[in-house]
Structure 1
Amino acid sequence: MIRALGLVLGLCVIASTAQSACGSAPTACKMPAGEYHIALPESGSAPIVVFLHGAGSNGANVMRNTGMVNSLRRRGYAVLAPTGARIFGKGPGRSWNFLPEMQGRDETRFLQDVVADAADRFDLNPKRVLLAGFSAGGFMVNYLACTAPDTFAAYAPVSGGFWRPQPERCGGPVRLFHTHGWRDATVPLEGRFLGEGRYQQGDIFAGLQLWRATNLCGDEKPSSTALTDPFWRRKWEDCTQDSALELALFSGAHQVPPGWADMVLDWFETPLKN
């Protein structure tokens, strides 16, 4: 009986180790609908930043941005980097089903499942989740925030907005912080045509207008502007309760800029005024 008990305990230890081993890069955490990578802080019950990769990339590549990932971890956040299901190009890269007409995996449900799975495996806080993403991941962030605004606590797209025609309305107010490069030629601020004119990236400022309407902001002009090197920031505060909207521009091109992680976490952690 003692030997049997020892065998059971041993199997439990092995199972627990196998379950948590996916937290050690470069091993992905596997789920029925996909996978994600994770980087953990030292403290338990940590809040979460879910960061969505750009088109042609994957979750493992997000983890290679050690400057960003380590900045988030130093602030006490777990970083989750899921991989999109949509095949992009002829290589192994992936993208996201962000447009309503795209077929395939329900990305909102998948990202909810990713957070629930990680919270269970690694003792994380599923109520304190910032959904961020770059380029195509930024498009995914905007569309998810628009269609299912209560899914996560806040949203932080980088270099990605809406496509034309953009949604006429969104599901409800959100906390959203948009970051964009002034010299971005891949996702220009004014948008551009792709696929010989079949597709059109939207105007970032038109998207912000939609968010101001969604958040019931009292005026189009920002409540405040500030230059906090290297970011030029515009904030709208005369908006509905529990919402927030801010834009940060930087002089660079299509990238997640240095300093982004601390800037957006400062914003995320700031108590709402209203």
Structure 2
Amino acid sequence: MPYRHWLALAVLAACLVGCGVRHVSATHRDLTGSFRSGGMNRTYTMHLPPGDPVGLVLSLHGGGGTGNGQRGLTEFDAVADANNLLVVYPDGYDKSWADGRGASPADRRHVDDVGFLAGLAAKLQNDYNIAPGHVFATGMSNGGFMSNKLACDRADIFAAIAPVAGTLGVGVACNPSRPVSVWEAHGTADPLVPYNGGAVHGRGGLSHSISVGSMVDRWRSANGCQSGPASQVLPNVGDGTVVRRYDSVECTSSTEVVLYQIDNGGHTWPGGKQYLPKAIIGPTTRALDGSEAIAQFFLAHARD
């Protein structure tokens, strides 16, 4: 079996057992629910903060994963509690999202995941009195691709997104109705979703992704960013990775486009669990706490 196929199967196998699940103690603020969409009952796990929620975050798992697996991988609950964010971890159809690349089980079944996630967001906004303009989406891998698609198709709902290890499928249209702030993190040594774009051997088969640079340029153009990004290097923590931050702030409607390029970083969540050996998925950087940085980015880019 070619190495790339073995690699994809190894990553898929890891995700099938939870994609980074850690034990999470259930409390009265941890809820499960279902939402009817597209003729199916869609499920989700939700974590309520201790205070009144000031924003809603949809956190989307990778291919082969689950909402609860994404919860364990990112450990976003603690960050959400500290910032009074309501975070929901939806479950994709057959552990996948219809992000437009065509290969996933959800895409093959023509599932309307944009409709599902937009509808779920509207329900939770209403249930918990969350202001319009305070709805955000993040995700890992297939969930990162889906986060981008949500912003492309429903910029009226999602004020900011934070895709991790995911870009857009080749040929997927992206014509947002209004500017959206974007935070992206991606490892240059990602063996599953190549930093420079190309073939993705993921759940459901072969698809093709655009490069990280192309994705960032699309959002800079869509947001009318006027100048080239400012760059800085985060402090080195000696884990073999170097994190470079590229920040475009002169954009319309006070939006911002930020890229964290993780030199030698793998198919991982920054600061999250090393859910498979480095030899298989590459290293997880410790120079960046992805969940904390994402929460702060969302809070800074809510719409009035």
Runs of 4+ off more than 6 Å: none
Any idea what the Cα deviations from partners look like across 1:153-201, whole Å, max 9, x if unmatched? 2111111001113437544321111111232111121123146995312
Aligned to 1:41: 49
Deviations 1:70-101 (CA, angstroms, capped at 9, x unpaired):
1232222111001112x3xxxxxx11111076
Q: 1:156 aligns with which of 159, 162, 174?
A: 162
Q: How many residues align?
A: 242
Determine the C-alpha separation between the residues in 1 that align with 2:101 and 2:192.
22
Q: Would you say 1:31 and 2:35 are equivalent positions? A: yes
Residue equivalent to 1:71? 79
Q: Is residue 61–residue 140 contact of structure 2 (8 Å, CA) maintained in 1?
A: yes
Corresponding residue for 2:211? Answer: 203
Preserved contact between residue 182 and residue 249 of structure 1 (Cα < 8 Å): yes
- Rate the CA distance shift 1:169–1:266 in 2: closer, same or farther, 3 A: same
Structure with more contact order per residue of length (Cα contacts < 8 Å, sep ≥ 6): 2
For residues 201-253 of structure 1, what are the alpha-carbon distances to aligned partners after superposition, in whole Å with 9 as ceiling and x for unaligned?
2211111111122112224x31x112233632111123223322111123431
Distance 1:29 1:216, change over 3 A: same
Query: In the TM superposition, what are the counterparts of 1:231-246 in structure 2 within 5 Å?
Result: 231-246=243-258
Shift of 1:125: 4.6
SS state at 1:32 partner: strand
> How far apart are 1:65 and its partner, in Å?
3.1
Which residue in 1 is equivalent to 2:239? none
Alignment root-mean-square deviation, CA? 2.8
**Hey, what does 2:268 align to over in structure 1?**
255
Paired residue secondary structure (1:213): helix
Contact residue 96 and residue 136 of structure 1 kept, 8 A = yes
Task: State which of 173, 179, 193 in structure 2 corresponds to 1:167.
Answer: 173
Aligned mates of 2:118, 2:129 — CA distance in 1: 16
Pairing partner for 2:139 from 133, 141, 145: 133
Q: Does residue 183 of structure 1 match 2:213?
A: no
Alpha-carbon distance in 1 for matches of 2:86, 2:270:
20
State the secondary structure of the residue aligned to 1:48. strand
Gaps in structure 1 of 5+ consecutive residues: 1-20, 88-93
Could you say what secondary structure the match of 2:149 adopts? Answer: helix
1:44 CA drift (Å): 1.7
Contact 1:23 1:29 survives alignment (8 Å): no
Identity of aligned residues (%): 26
Taking structure 1 as reference, are residues 53 and 235 closer, same or farther at Cα in structure 2, changes over 3 Å only? same
Confirm or deny: 8 A CA contact 1:155 1:177 kept in the other structure: yes
Residue pair 1:146, 1:172 contacting (<8 A) in 2 also:
no
| Structure 1 pair 106–262 and aligned structure 2 pair: CA distance change class (3 A) | same
Point out the structure with max Rg over C-alpha.
1
Which secondary structure does the structure 1 equivalent of 2:169 belong to? coil
Q: Which amino acid aligns with 1:205?
A: G
2:152 counterpart SS class = helix
Cα distance in 1, alignment partners of residues 88 and 210 from structure 2 = 27
Q: Take 2:198 and 2:75, find their aligned partners in 1: how far apart are those partners? A: 30
Please state whether the residue corresponding to 1:95 is helix, strand or coil. Answer: coil
What CA distance in whole angstroms lies between the structure 2 residues aligned with 1:168 and 1:153?
A: 15
Once residues 257 and 217 of structure 1 are traced to their aligned partners in structure 2, the CA distance between those partners, rounded to angstroms, is 26
Please give the alpha-carbon distance, in whole angstroms, between the structure 2 residues aligned to 1:28 and 1:22. 11
For the 8 Å contact 1:73–1:79, the answer to whether it is kept is no
Counterpart check, 1:268 vs 2:290: no
Contact 1:191–1:204 (8 Å) recurs in 2 = yes
* 1:115/1:126 contact within 8 Å kept: no
